[in-house]
Amino acid sequence: MPDPATLTQTMAEMLTQSRQAAYTMATLTTAQKNEALLAFAALLETHRSDLRSANDQDLKAQEGQLSPALFQRLKLSDAKINTLIQGLKDVAGLPDPVGRVTLQTKLDEGLVLSKVAVPIGVIGIVFESRPDVVPQILSLILKSGNAVVFKGGREAHHSNAAFMRVVDALNARCPFLPKAWGQLIDSRQAFQALLDFHDKVDLVIPRGSNQLVQQVMAATKIPVLGHADGICHLYVHASADAASPETMALIMDSKCQYPAACNALETLLVDAAVAQTLLPLLKAAADESGVTLKGCSKTQAVIDGIEPAQEADWHTEYGDLTMSVKVVDDLAAAIAHINTYGSHHTDCIVARDEQAMEQFMAQVDSASVFANASTRFADGFRYGFGAEIGISTAKTHARGPVGMDGLVIYKYQLHGHGHLVADYSGDTPKPFLHQPL
């Protein structure tokens, strides 16, 4: 273990370099950022074999050591690399969030106030298991003009290092990028040291388990953006066509398409009016897909032989092919259950009644609320952000899948011509125009 004093000094130097890099990144033109993103995409293709080989090392080392959910997240398939390449290209095609003027007011003749989007600055990120997060993070950091110091999971050590070799090649190809714009650290102690530098880091983003997020929040004075759990619900309303194959396909896609993801379905709520129709079909679909059901007493009355759901199940993010099922009396009961037990991540209603959908959308207090769409759509790539820096269930600054808009803040710029406050105060103050431009 490194000496704490040495580690603190090393981190201070690294963050000082990050701050200087952030100042340079903030001045890059849109053309430069897009050039770098497209070069990054090309280099991922060039280094595909190296990336897969490094990931195979990690998979071999972690086989039998990780839960099935984390092992699935660790795997870097060709399909994931293809998605990463497309994501980089998509980010390059998105508008530059930096420099966008969101408000402009003429205070007086020759005195104009502007509210301008600017990068946040230095961002610290920690994530678990998923090596494909590295280029996702870097693409959004680059386009938004920030600098980042991040730590990946030790189980993805070789994969993360391979991605950083791609970054080294990118920096060589694009010399306008400051070398310290994206820095990887590989120990928990180093990231813990980073959390102490609230004067050098502007935002921390933890991506991982509830335990990780809570630990980070408790350990730092730096603002933290993240989500604790992914307890996502799907409610089948009384107006839904419970016998429809499309309804069951929505449920199974939400649960099974990628059960380890934070936007996968964990609790299914079934309106009592359709329970007798839906639940036998659910049991057949669950058996076919290998899903283990846990049910409330009303669910067990319809489906024989399933495990009873306990109070703890309504609070549980399984991350695998397990799903809790509860029969509820009506829409109000479904909304109350979600707002009580949910993690404010992603929740869905399946219905044909427009009024019921509108009420669900308005009253469910989650970052993403859907009607008749799989919960798995809650993703920055699918939302058209190119990628996501993480998911936030907070109600300040950014919420839901966080793309580039969550990585910029704003500053007020005032242009005048020798204007004095004294002229606008006193016994005969000059009036302000406050004219929107």
One-letter amino acid identity for 243? Answer: A
Beta-carbon contacts of 325 under 8 Å, excluding residues fewer than 6 positions away, are: 267, 268, 270, 279, 282, 293, 294, 295, 296, 299, 303, 306, 309
Tell me whether domains 4-224+403-412 and 232-377 share a fold: no
User: Rounded distance, CA 83 to CA 3, Å?
Assistant: 41
4-224+403-412, CATH topology level:
Aldehyde Dehydrogenase; Chain A, domain 1 (3.40.605)
User: Rounded distance, CA 91 to CA 428, Å?
Assistant: 53
Whether the CB-CB separation of 221 and 39 falls below 8 Å is answered with no
Domain range 232-377, its CATH number among 3.40.190.290, 3.30.420.480, 3.40.309.10, 1.10.357.10: 3.40.309.10
Q: Which residues of the chain have pLDDT under 50?
A: none
* Tens-digit pLDDT profile for residues 359-409: 999 999 999 999 999 999 999 889 988 778 888 888 878 888 888 889 999
**pLDDT of res. 68:** 82
User: Rounded distance, CA 241 to CA 237, Å?
Assistant: 9
One-letter amino acid identity for 418? Answer: G
Question: How many CB atoms neighbour CB 164 within 10 A?
Answer: 17
One DSSP character per residue, 192-204 reads HHHTT-TTT-SEE
User: Rounded distance, CA 224 to CA 205, Å?
Assistant: 6
* Tens-digit pLDDT profile for residues 322-366: 999 999 999 999 999 999 999 999 999 999 999 999 999 999 999
**pLDDT of res. 1:** 59
One DSSP character per residue, 133-172 reads HHHHHHHHHHHTT-EEEEE--GGGHHHHHHHHHHHHHHHH
Q: What Å distances lie between residue 51 and 42, 152, 323, 387, 416, CA to CA?
A: 13, 15, 34, 19, 53
Handedness of CA 3, 5, 10, 14 (dihedral sign): positive
Q: E strands within 298-432? A: 307-308, 322-328, 346-350, 368-371, 390-392, 400-402, 408-415
Please report which helix (H) or strand (E) contains residue 234, including its range.
strand 232-236
Q: Is 305 left (phi over 0), alpha (psi -120 to 50) or beta?
A: left
The predicted model scores a pTM of 0.83
Annotated domain spans of the chain = 4-224+403-412, 232-377
Whether the CB-CB separation of 125 and 207 falls below 8 Å is answered with yes
- DSSP letter at 63? T
